[in-house]
Structure 1
Amino acid sequence: MKPIKLGSSFSLVASVLARNVHAQCQGAEVITRDIAIVGGGATGTYAAINLKDQGKSIIVIEKRGALGGHTSTYHDPTTGTPINYGLQLYHDDEVSRSFFALLNITVSGGTFPISKIPLYIDFTDGSPVLNYSIPPLNEDYFQALHKYPYLENGLELPDPVPEELLLTWAEYMEQFNLTDDAIATYSRPAVPGDLTKILALYVFNNLNTVMLEEELEGKIIVNANGDLAEPYSNALAELGSDVLLNSVVTDGQRGSKPADGVRLCVSTPEGSKRVIAKQLVFSAPPVLENLEPFGLDERETNIISQFEGGFYYTGVVTNLGLPTNYSYVNRGQKTQSHVASLPGVVMFNPTNVEGTYYYWYTSLSDLTKEQVETETRDTLKLLQKTVAGADANAEPQFVAYKSHTPLHPTASADAIRKGIYRDIYSLQGYRNTWYTGSLLVTGSSQLWNITSQLLPRIIAASEQ
């Protein structure tokens, strides 16, 4: 009998697993790998490229038709100009540059995306919010942030968790005299949910040193051609048949010991496939809906079920019927610190293609593409009636859309108090499964950083 590269004990188990899969996968092609990666966003792609670079065999299972996750790029059909309507920039640090080097990406210094004179408008009635501006953050915020270094690159919290971090941000600012920073901290566009009710812990976790370095020190890089999806298209070319696009796991079984491995039934455009792997990296958002096919046990279910929320959507629209020399930003006329009302469009921001804007939309519940675009159109028709120089007869044309839900799911103060993040970290490696993604951090470089720290443990587990 010839030796088998993946190890005889694993291969023996794999042969048993291959005979014991969901009926949908009976007779399907079997794909055997060291590591299966579910989710081809920032962390899944980073893990795949780096694991392959270190000699591991991998398979990536991605439900969309491209890699990239929250990176969304639309190419104007007339000019070919890339329009980034999700991720807007990359942090300039070693982990980003090393990743881009692996992908043969040329980078250069960048700036914040194009913007024009902002018009602050209450999108619920179209009225202008006068005498409004966004001030810089005060030193008080930086001092407060630096009190909690464990929030910067993850959520490995002390026990007990400081009670002030479990206050709402409004309560925290009041207690620690940070109310002068209210408008600055409430003005962040890419945060789902009600900013007046978000916990202080999540404000510091999101508005952290990395983000502030980008904003205040210009530590930004972009790929030279301006197409932020290029790293992921290059990664797809590099990974080739090791990526299953437009594919979802329909059934999964995971063993309790490394030798047991993982078996998955995957629905692909070419039919069902059976995946047999030693370890599983789950880089999609770890919420019950996404993990249902993987046969969660009681421990996993009790932990995962405590995370929810993060309803966020983005798109590109043309023919707005509004003057093109402005950005349009949603601010409440009578709300606390002029926070925008939910659900609704966060802003319409111009692009390098005249008359084409990207928009971001946040909600308190999950919405369909039709619902988001209908509500966005209604907002534009309202603004056409109230903005000077608008054309009320223009019909907006929606040319791109992506749901980013769930974006950075959160837990309740009580769950955090009881150790939910300690529990989520304790799941690393449990039943041959590893979690990485935007549950713990949000920026791409931070996602790559926490994944890079996890990879040696994943590799070691795959070699047992």
Structure 2
Amino acid sequence: MRGLASSIFFAVSAVATIVPNKTLQKDVIILGGGASGTYAAVRLREDYGKDVVVIEARTLLGGNVNTYNDPVTNTAINYGVEAYIDYGPAKDFFARFDVPTQPVVEYVQSVGSTVYVDAASGTVLPNISAPPVKADQLAALQTYLTVVEQYTPYLLPGYWNFPSGDDIPADMLLPWGDFEAKYGVQDMYPIQDLIDGGASPNTTTLYAMMNFNEPVVSGYLNGTMFDPLPFNNSILYGRAQELLGEDVLFSSQVINATRDDSGVSVLVQDDAGATTLITAPRLLVAFQPTAANVAPLALDGAENAVFSTFSSSVLWVGVVRSNFIPDNTAVTFIPGADAPPYTVEIGWSGTSGLSEIFFAGAGYTEDEGKQAVVDAFLLLVSAGTFAPPEGEEAVAEVVAFTDHTGLGFDQSVEMLQQGFIQQMYALQGQRSTWWTGALWCPGYSSNVWAFTDTILPQLLQGLD
């Protein structure tokens, strides 16, 4: 306890003008209430009997799980996480909260047609090649599965066993386009696009495999992916929220932290300005280690050397209500030389009049992003690509819009060979701090839960 008392002193000294409204002492502090943070909190408290607290910036748990409850149709639109892999503890976690499951909904009700338009004008591009027939897509995917499954020990449940130097398989270091050509699997791209958004030809194959790994591919081919019943992904997190109760501090962020080998202390502030000083022997960081998120943690040189090399992907997801996008239709905007400095993708939500959207545009505020999305929708009307019902004005309204900005791998092949992933994983346990979440393993919820299960026993060592 002497070390924790020392940590309290330094944390308070660092922000001497702030006198905390409350102090707490816990076994484990968890930063972030997304998939990994929620799962860790439930397991640590319920299965290991530890005293935990979750610090969550938003007003609810779930992270990238986002649900829009449409008041017109009384339908839940899952516009964040849309499906689960039957891998690791996934189904057990749903069963724990008495949430039934069903065969995957999203990929069954896939898009009937995709319209390709010029991003600047909104007009239809007539010369876009039709995708391969479904039989050819599936054959290519089956071939890919025979290749990727041999690399599963390097990818799952995390990158603990990933090699370095000349021991890295040559396939994993190829540009993705070269890998596809080598094995003749180019025809699988529509399925890959549907599941994970696809990969550019220059992407290092390892990074494509992280998102398109064996459980994902076999789950698609074998029909074992699943969804909750009813199809509302927020039910699981709502029940976890009820269970954890006051052990979650919502609308709260860390403003200062002290970490060393004797323990950690964090000063937390909520939206109303109230502060809480929390001390614990262990810290579990379960949010994305973006520069903004980790700034209060006072990273050391080793941590900075790792996290500064990741790229930030600016992404917003949402739902738009319109009266002119046909049902069962997606729209892909193809950028040309005069394209706007952002990307919009329109997908079918499964509910008439509602489209799921993706918006990527660095430097845009939330309001600017929403307006850019509306402009892209209305561009399709002014170009004559779609039209509202006769006698009606075109309407496009963003009814849900959520930030999914995060970090992604794009380190060079040379960095991988020099042991970057080993350098990254060496951070685990340093300064009484452990890390989990989508950066540390393939980013699907099922993978994240399985990876978290590898972290918890290590985190608990020496914690009586």
> Does TM-score exceed 0.5, indicating one fold?
yes
Aligned-partner Cα distance in 1 for 2:150–2:10 = 49
Mapping 1:149-298, distance limit 5 Å: 149=152, 150-156=154-160, 157-160=162-165, 161-174=168-181, 176-178=182-184, 180-181=186-187, 183-184=189-190, 187-188=193-194, 190-191=196-197, 195-255=200-260, 257=261, 260-270=262-272, 271-298=274-301
> Which digits, 9 at most, give the CA deviation of each residue in 1:292-311, with x for residues without a partner?
11011111111111112222
> Which digits, 9 at most, give the CA deviation of each residue in 1:126-154, with x for residues without a partner?
31455512542414322331342212433
Question: For residues 350 and 15 of structure 1, do their structure 2 counterparts lie closer, same or farther at Cα, with a shift above 3 Å needed?
Answer: closer
Unaligned runs of 5+ in 2: none
Confirm whether residue 23 of structure 1 aligns to residue 26 of structure 2.
no
Question: For residues 91 and 189 of structure 1, do their structure 2 counterparts lie closer, same or farther at Cα, with a shift above 3 Å needed?
Answer: closer
Aligned-partner Cα distance in 2 for 1:117–1:181 = 18
Whether contact under 8 Å (1:189, 1:346) holds in the other structure is no
Q: CA deviation at 1:320?
A: 4.5
Question: For residues 209 and 28 of structure 1, do their structure 2 counterparts lie closer, same or farther at Cα, with a shift above 3 Å needed?
Answer: same
Aligned-partner Cα distance in 2 for 1:243–1:191 = 33
Q: CA deviation at 1:42?
A: 0.2
Supply the AA of the counterpart residue of 1:199: T
Question: For residues 419 and 93 of structure 1, do their structure 2 counterparts lie closer, same or farther at Cα, with a shift above 3 Å needed?
Answer: closer
Aligned-partner Cα distance in 1 for 2:451–2:17 = 35
Question: For residues 320 and 462 of structure 1, do their structure 2 counterparts lie closer, same or farther at Cα, with a shift above 3 Å needed?
Answer: farther
Query: In structure 1, what is the equivalent of residue 380 of structure 2?
Result: 383
Aligned-partner Cα distance in 1 for 2:404–2:305 = 24
Aligned-partner Cα distance in 1 for 2:192–2:77 = 26
Aligned-partner Cα distance in 2 for 1:94–1:123 = 42
Whether contact under 8 Å (2:104, 2:225) holds in the other structure is yes
Which deviates more from structure 2 when the two are superposed, residues 295-304 or residues 129-138?
129-138
Question: For residues 34 and 152 of structure 1, do their structure 2 counterparts lie closer, same or farther at Cα, with a shift above 3 Å needed?
Answer: closer
Aligned-partner Cα distance in 1 for 2:151–2:258 = 39
Partner secondary structure for residue 462 of structure 1: coil
Partner secondary structure for residue 49 of structure 2: coil
TM-score (structure 1 length as normaliser): 0.87
Query: In structure 1, what is the equivalent of residue 425 of structure 2?
Result: 425
Aligned-partner Cα distance in 2 for 1:64–1:455 = 24
Supply the AA of the counterpart residue of 2:193: S
Question: For residues 12 and 151 of structure 1, do their structure 2 counterparts lie closer, same or farther at Cα, with a shift above 3 Å needed?
Answer: closer
Whether contact under 8 Å (1:31, 1:273) holds in the other structure is yes
Confirm whether residue 315 of structure 1 aligns to residue 318 of structure 2.
yes
Query: In structure 2, what is the equivalent of residue 359 of structure 1?
Result: 357
Aligned-partner Cα distance in 2 for 1:263–1:26 = 14
Aligned-partner Cα distance in 1 for 2:398–2:306 = 39
Query: In structure 2, what is the equivalent of residue 38 of structure 1?
Result: 31
Aligned-partner Cα distance in 2 for 1:280–1:50 = 15
Question: For residues 94 and 409 of structure 1, do their structure 2 counterparts lie closer, same or farther at Cα, with a shift above 3 Å needed?
Answer: closer
Whether contact under 8 Å (2:175, 2:205) holds in the other structure is yes
Aligned-partner Cα distance in 2 for 1:374–1:346 = 14
Aligned-partner Cα distance in 1 for 2:410–2:243 = 34
Aligned-partner Cα distance in 1 for 2:386–2:241 = 46
Q: CA deviation at 1:322?
A: 2.4
Q: CA deviation at 1:454?
A: 1.0
> Which digits, 9 at most, give the CA deviation of each residue in 1:386-409, with x for residues without a partner?
325446931311111111101545
Q: CA deviation at 1:65?
A: 1.3
> Which digits, 9 at most, give the CA deviation of each residue in 1:8-59, with x for residues without a partner?
5566556656754523542431011000000110000000000011200001
Aligned-partner Cα distance in 1 for 2:85–2:442 = 14
Query: In structure 2, what is the equivalent of residue 61 of structure 1?
Result: 55
Q: CA deviation at 1:177?
A: 4.3
Which deviates more from structure 2 when the two are superposed, residues 72-81 or residues 420-429?
72-81
Question: For residues 15 and 397 of structure 1, do their structure 2 counterparts lie closer, same or farther at Cα, with a shift above 3 Å needed?
Answer: closer
Query: In structure 2, what is the equivalent of residue 5 of structure 1?
Result: none
Aligned-partner Cα distance in 2 for 1:427–1:400 = 37
Question: For residues 410 and 51 of structure 1, do their structure 2 counterparts lie closer, same or farther at Cα, with a shift above 3 Å needed?
Answer: farther
Aligned-partner Cα distance in 2 for 1:367–1:435 = 29
Aligned-partner Cα distance in 2 for 1:458–1:357 = 42
Whether contact under 8 Å (1:116, 1:350) holds in the other structure is no
Question: For residues 444 and 239 of structure 1, do their structure 2 counterparts lie closer, same or farther at Cα, with a shift above 3 Å needed?
Answer: same
TM-score (structure 2 length as normaliser): 0.87
Partner secondary structure for residue 380 of structure 1: helix
Confirm whether residue 349 of structure 1 aligns to residue 348 of structure 2.
yes
Unaligned runs of 5+ in 1: 1-7
Q: CA deviation at 1:189?
A: 6.0
Aligned-partner Cα distance in 1 for 2:102–2:185 = 37
Question: For residues 12 and 313 of structure 1, do their structure 2 counterparts lie closer, same or farther at Cα, with a shift above 3 Å needed?
Answer: closer
Aligned-partner Cα distance in 2 for 1:177–1:115 = 27
Supply the AA of the counterpart residue of 1:253: T
Q: CA deviation at 1:381?
A: 1.6
Supply the AA of the counterpart residue of 1:313: W
Query: In structure 2, what is the equivalent of residue 4 of structure 1?
Result: none
Confirm whether residue 146 of structure 1 aligns to residue 149 of structure 2.
yes
Partner secondary structure for residue 296 of structure 2: helix
Among 76, 89, 93, the residue aligned to 1:99: 93
> Which digits, 9 at most, give the CA deviation of each residue in 1:82-123, with x for residues without a partner?
111110012234501221233232323333353442123135
Aligned-partner Cα distance in 2 for 1:285–1:292 = 12
